[in-house]
Structure 1
Amino acid sequence: MNKTFKIYAVIFIIVMVILALFEVNKTESTDWRKNFKTTQKSPFGLFVFNNEIKDLFKNKVKRIDQTPYDYYNQNKKKPHNILVIEHEVDGESWNKILDQVSSGSDAMLIISEIPKEISDSIGYYDSQISFEDENVLKLTDTKYLNDFIKLDKFPSGRGFTYIKPNVEVLGKTVEKNNSDQANFIKAKFGKGNIYVHCEPLFITNYYLLQRGNVRYTQDIFSYLDNKETLWFVESNSKASQFFLRFILSNPALKYAWWVLLGGLVLFIFFNAKRKQRIVPIIEPLKNTSVDFVKSIGNLYLQEGDFHDMMAKKAQYFLNKVRMDLLIDTQNLDEEFAKKLHLKTGKPTEMINEAIDLIKKGQDPYAHVMKEDLAKMNKLLDGII
């Protein structure tokens, strides 16, 4: 285990300990997001409504996890109720819903943002009308005047700001500092009716569990006739196929998963630093002069031309004398021998013997043997 790996391991362990301490000491926080999910028990989920809807519709409700477009292409239905709660529906599906309403079905849309297809069909516009922290939802029908619901947590403040004469107002939003605004309307469309409520918070867990609020919800759905109701809900097929669904739904596993990913990112980041490449071994240039000389020597040795080799050795020696010792080599006489003796300090007998062998090598008619070449080479190398 190298030093770098140990450092990474220590950092990872420290991070894990810190996160564990945070997890142990943290307090549970309430999720106030408006998710409108039937499986969520958070304040603004629809878990309670999903369990109680069978009583509201006397067991005549059917949950559909297909889009209205797909469902109605596969099924032919007699007049029925259609329920859509804060659910994104594509344009083709809205057209299918309008076709069903035109044929005698009733549709109740409990959505905060009215789609253009519906708005254009029944002739009204909606917008954000206030930002008050509290408001009260009431119905305009005299038999429901005593039934209301107070929204004290994050009301959307939406309402209908323009309504055509053929649209009936069934409910309104009451605020202290603003005039009343319609929030629940009914529009005749073909043989059926479209009911639109633009404040879906009244059917969430938080408000349904408060005393007295259920009556308001019962009043809203009482406008639908006693017939089969198709509730188009969000499809969970995609979520169930997601392999991390269980991990991300568990807070402890979710934190462990993100820590693991963070550790991998840190590991990749620190190991992405430029590392020293392996230095290639470069062979030094070989001195081929020695090999060349050996090759030439072997060639002469194989040829057996000792005389020529003595001549070249003598020529090389005399050239070196001229260049290094500055002695004239034109005449190899006693004067030359004397100067060479003085310059090199070698014995006179050795110098004279070497001069005799040089002259023998220069004489083209002299008879030279291998021993002469070896002796000459030894003497000349010993002089210089």
Structure 2
Amino acid sequence: MNKTFKIYAVIFIVVMIILALFEVNKTESTDWRKNFKTDQKSPFGIFIFNHEVKDLFKNKLTKSDQTPYDYYNQNETKKAHNILIIEHEVDGESWNKVFDEVAKGSDAMLIVSDIPKEVSDSIGYYDSKISFEEENILKLTDKKYRNDFIRLDKFPSGRGFTFIRPGAEVLGKTVEKNNTDQANFIRVNYGKGHFYVHCEPLFITNYYLLKKGSTKYAQDVFSYLDDRETIWFDESNTVESHFFMRFILSNPALKYAWWLLLGGLLLFIFFNAKRKQRIVPVVEPLKNTSVDFVKSIGNLYLQEGDFHDMMAKKAQYFLNKVRMDLLIDTQNLDAEFAKKLHLKTGKPMETIDEAIVLIRKAQDPYAQVMKEDLSRMNKLLDEIIR
């Protein structure tokens, strides 16, 4: 282990200890974001509502992670039912499907802080910021619910309805000390069904449902829906990610440790890439002189002009290769030998017969051999066994 590596290791350990001390001594902060997610236990998540909603709707609730457009394309003959949408962005085609279902006798309850333009334009009302107070009270207008209310003391949206078409019924209001009451919950007839629109969704969040008496207000709001099947289009009811880093990245402490580890590795690679390396000596490979030797021997034979001796050596080399590789007896160069060589090499009999004639000529010490005979035999033997 060199000195540089030890220095990097010490720096890395010191940084890790400092971060660990910060992590141990840090104070837990509350997440006050209005996420309205069913799996979030933060103040403005709806984990508690999601846990209790089936009892609220007497086990007649179905949660769907599909868009209304996809859902109703697969369930075209569905009878009248309730539709529940809570802080969920819905596309235009899906709103058309919702309007069709309501027109046929279903009821749709929208609990949204920002009313979609498709809805407000179709059923005739507008919402806007009506209050900037830090605290207000939500009440229902029905006399039987006069004692049921909820006090919003943390980040109320302050939204309400500034215009409502004639014939719409105001079911709930926002009450403040210094302002007149403003409608925040209405019912609008549409075809054979109704739209229920509530523009303050905070009343179903964890923070307010845990407050004493607040659950009664929520029960009263949902009591306007008939006792029948309810479809809740829930955008947070989606398939959980299977990304292998999901657990680490979802935990703040593990996430910081992971990024720190990656940063340390990158620094280590960066600095070590610049370290000096010992010069590697160049070793010349040994030269292969076999080819030069063969060329020298070949030139010697050509200069001597002894073609007969060269044919004899070529024939001897060929017959030895036939014995070793093809396992054919070469003692008698007869018809039987020619047939076996033909079968094992697949070469034409004419080629083999001509080669045997030349081999016999090379083995005959008294035969007259020409340069053309050597060239022809060399070509035939190379063709038979490559």
TM-score with structure 1 length normalisation?
Answer: 0.67
Correspondence 1:67 to 2:84: no
Q: Quick one: structure 1 residues 52 and 235, their matched pair in 2 at CA, closer, same or farther if it must change by over 3 Å?
A: closer
Per-residue displacement from partner, 1:275-334 (whole Å, max 9, x unpaired)?
A: 99999xxxxxxxxxxxxxxxxxxxxxxxxxxxxxxxxxxxxxxxxxxxxxxxxxxxxxxx
Paired residues of 1:66 and 1:235 also in contact (CA < 8 A): no
Gaps of 5+ in 2: 280-386
Partner of 1:214: 215
Paired residues of 1:239 and 1:245 also in contact (CA < 8 A): no
| Cα distance in 1 between the residues matched to 2:162 and 2:36 | 25
Partner of 1:95: 96
Q: Quick one: structure 1 residues 238 and 277, their matched pair in 2 at CA, closer, same or farther if it must change by over 3 Å?
A: farther
Partner of 2:24: 24
Matched to 1:51, the amino acid is H
Partner of 1:131: 132
RMSD (Å), alpha carbons: 2.5
Per-residue displacement from partner, 1:344-382 (whole Å, max 9, x unpaired)?
A: xxxxxxxxxxxxxxxxxxxxxxxxxxxxxxxxxxxxxxx
Partner of 2:308: none
Partner of 2:84: 83
Deviation at 1:261, TM superposition (A): 3.5
| Cα distance in 2 between the residues matched to 1:36 and 1:82 | 18
Deviation at 1:141, TM superposition (A): 1.3
Paired residues of 2:38 and 2:237 also in contact (CA < 8 A): no
Alignment of 1:1-384 (within 5 A): 1-76=1-76, 77-237=78-238, 239-264=240-265, 266-267=267-268
| Cα distance in 2 between the residues matched to 1:223 and 1:49 | 17
Matched to 1:92, the amino acid is E
Deviation at 1:28, TM superposition (A): 2.2
Per-residue displacement from partner, 1:216-269 (whole Å, max 9, x unpaired)?
A: 001100100011001111255454233332112323322212322433454577
| Cα distance in 2 between the residues matched to 1:157 and 1:34 | 14
| Cα distance in 2 between the residues matched to 1:153 and 1:110 | 18
| Cα distance in 2 between the residues matched to 1:238 and 1:260 | 30
SS in 2 for 1:240: coil
Deviation at 1:16, TM superposition (A): 1.3
Q: Quick one: structure 1 residues 264 and 121, their matched pair in 2 at CA, closer, same or farther if it must change by over 3 Å?
A: farther
| Cα distance in 2 between the residues matched to 1:37 and 1:6 | 48
| Cα distance in 2 between the residues matched to 1:240 and 1:146 | 44
TM-score with structure 2 length normalisation?
Answer: 0.67
Paired residues of 2:132 and 2:158 also in contact (CA < 8 A): yes
Paired residues of 1:84 and 1:233 also in contact (CA < 8 A): yes
Gaps of 5+ in 1: 280-384
SS in 2 for 1:207: helix
Deviation at 1:47, TM superposition (A): 1.2
Q: Quick one: structure 1 residues 263 and 177, their matched pair in 2 at CA, closer, same or farther if it must change by over 3 Å?
A: farther
SS in 1 for 2:37: coil
| Cα distance in 2 between the residues matched to 1:269 and 1:180 | 66
| Cα distance in 2 between the residues matched to 1:199 and 1:13 | 50
Partner of 1:314: none
Q: Quick one: structure 1 residues 22 and 140, their matched pair in 2 at CA, closer, same or farther if it must change by over 3 Å?
A: same
Matched to 1:253, the amino acid is L
| Cα distance in 2 between the residues matched to 1:227 and 1:174 | 32
Per-residue displacement from partner, 1:122-146 (whole Å, max 9, x unpaired)?
A: 1111112222110000111121111
Aligned residues: 280
Matched to 1:39, the amino acid is D
| Cα distance in 1 between the residues matched to 2:207 and 2:96 | 33
Q: Quick one: structure 1 residues 92 and 243, their matched pair in 2 at CA, closer, same or farther if it must change by over 3 Å?
A: farther
Per-residue displacement from partner, 1:30-75 (whole Å, max 9, x unpaired)?
A: 2211111111111111111111112211111111111111111111
| Cα distance in 2 between the residues matched to 1:209 and 1:39 | 16
Deviation at 1:165, TM superposition (A): 1.0
Which protein has the larger Cα radius of gyration, Structure 1 or Structure 2?
1
| Cα distance in 1 between the residues matched to 2:180 and 2:272 | 64
